[in-house]
Chain A
Amino acid sequence: MTAAPLARVSRFNIAALALGLAFLYLPIVILVIYSFNASQLVTVWGGWSLRWYVEFFNDRAMLNATFMSLRVAAVSATLATVLGTLAAVALTRGEGFRGRTLFSGMLYAPLVMPEVITGLSLLLLFVALGAERGFWTVTVAHTTLTMCFVTVIVQSRLGALDRGLEEAAMDLGCDPLRAFLSVTLPLIAPAIAAGWMLAFTLSLDDLVIASFTTGPGATTLPIRIYSEVRLGVKPEINAICSLIVGSIAILIVAASMASKLSSGRGGNAAPM
């Protein structure tokens, strides 16, 4: 790299970056500020208050939907992490195997596939299988979507890893499984953790696929929020959204601190 890279940054560059970031963050900041609005009217500022948070914690239906979403997210993220990590290992270490093209195609397509198609097709499968729609059908649907994201994250970490380390372990007498568990796995742990978190938040966020695959008694938070939002802006929704944004922010800070800790021990930071 040549010296004085700062000189390459023009005023136009700084302006573009600042405007871009402001565009990304301002709406969320405004949403959070208005969630503390005391006024009944969402558009009139009536001073600071926590009343909409109290309202949320007294709303049984909303709370049930929240717990349902958290359960679906936790179970599906865990399944997706196991499956996604296995897929990433197969893609980066399995060399060429029969059906590899189909395999990678099936793993990359859901990343861009419109959710209405994924949701409808999974529902038709569940109906054909005679599966009772509810918690498990949503969980399976979310696992299918999110494991692809886990695969991409873990795969990029595995691809960047020095394979000499695994080979050295095996030369020293480890069998492949042992080499993977004691050498590779600790090195890709930050990526696996990042993958789990991304899967968790994607599941928590999903409206379309959950709407298709859910059944009576398994209303998730986004479905509930969506039906409220269609009726107009409600201050209570601002409070719920702020709580979600806050928890995700805490998760991200925790994750980046964890990856710093692990990189302090010799590994590199997680790719995401």
Chain B
Amino acid sequence: MSARRIFTRPARLAAIAPYVWMALFFLVPFAFVVKISLSQAAIAQPPYMPVVMLADGWRGLVAAFGALSLDNFRLLASDDLYLLAGLRSLTVAATATALLLLIGYPVAYAMARLPRRWQPVAMTLVIVPFWTSFLIRVYAWINILQHDGLLNKILLALHVVSAPVVWLATDRAMYLGLVYSYLPFMILPLYATLARLDPALLEAAGDLGSSPRQAFWLVTVPLSLPGIGAGVLLCFIPIVGEFVIPDLLAGSDSMMVGQALWLEFFTNRDWPVASATAVLLLAILLLPLLVYDRFQRRQMRRS
């Protein structure tokens, strides 16, 4: 007990360096995003106005604040593009997350039912693709889905289709890419809760007269809700802001918020509007992020 308390102080000191680092490089930058989202675009380096100069003192600060404006947000609200991008991000993320749950659950369930010594092997096999490059995995699908790619060749050879099907640059391809890339994030938390499930509970349900199917829906699914919640959040939040997968696999007729931000920043070089888009994206994600934070904290307390 006393030894434990002695250890606490140096352990707290260990927080200093990572604390300062994360505050400086994660928290403070958000303040800049908000500030610049309220600034005007300018043809300058950096390409926005006003820039607050500490050397100008208090008067400069007041003047700078006076020059801040909500114009960028008015633009976002008036232009359909951003509203549609926001809606599309939410629907794409919801659909992809539902697909992930539908595909991930049976896999995680099967993993949890494997003999004990096979479970770590299955887990490693699910994790390994997560270690290989994200970009490479999307690129691998471009290879397969292109006009004269492997998929069309197989379908033609099997006479399933008579002419090559357009796969690339469609929403189908984007959903495939999303499900493929995020599957480990769904499977692992599901597996973690399903593996902890006490099989005696299912036996008890059976003894009390429920069929295996009933036992699954009445016992297994409710008890795996924490895993479902974790998996859904781990997939939904990043997918809302996804850029690479829709950019490379979906068509160019509609955009997600992440693509709109990228376009404003890299193509239009309009940093203030890009920042305003980032604020919009954060606003969309605020609620799921808060839920995620509570989830993490509860999990930490349990461990």
Binary per-residue interface labels of chain A (230-252) against chain B in the complex, 1 for a CB within 8 Å, 0 otherwise = 10010001100100110011001
Cβ of A207 and Cβ of B113 under 8 Å apart? no
Does B221 make an interface contact (CB < 8 A)? no
Which of B27, B133, B296 sits near A104, CB closer than 8 Å? B296
B-side interface size class: 35 or more
Assign chain A's interface to a size class.
Answer: 35 or more
Shortest beta-carbon distance from B59 to chain A in Å = 20
Give A84 to B32 CA distance when docked, in angstroms: 25
A-side contacts of B209, CB under 8 Å: none
Q: How long is the Cα–Cα vector from A82 to B144 in the complex, in angstroms?
A: 41
- Cβ-defined contact, A176 with B10, below 8 A: yes
Once the chains bind, are B11 and A31 in contact (CB under 8 Å)? no
Q: Chain B contacts of A8 at CB under 8 A?
A: 113, 199
Dominant SS at the A interface? Answer: helix
Q: How far is the CB of A85 from chain B (nearest CB, A)?
A: 8
Query: Which residue of A has the minimal Cβ distance to B150?
Result: A30
B258 and A116 contacting across the interface, CB-CB below 8 Å: yes
Asked if A241 and B107 make an inter-chain contact with CB atoms under 8 angstroms apart, the answer reads no
Q: Indicate if the CB atoms of A104 and B11 lie closer than 8 Å.
A: no
Q: Mark B120-160, 1 if CB is under 8 A from A, else 0.
A: 10101111110111111101111110101110010000000
Known: A30-B144, A121-B32, A125-B32. A108 touches B292 (CB 8 A): yes
Bound together, the chains give a CA A162 to CA B244 distance in angstroms of 43
Q: Is the CB of A42 within 8 A of B143?
A: yes
A/B interface sample: 28 pairs, CB < 8 A: A5-B114, A21-B126, A27-B140, A27-B180, A28-B137, A43-B149, A87-B15, A89-B14, A94-B11, A99-B19, A106-B19, A108-B293, A108-B296, A109-B289, A112-B237, A113-B241, A116-B262, A117-B241, A121-B29, A128-B32, A167-B3, A205-B136, A225-B135, A233-B143, A241-B139, A244-B132, A245-B132, A249-B128
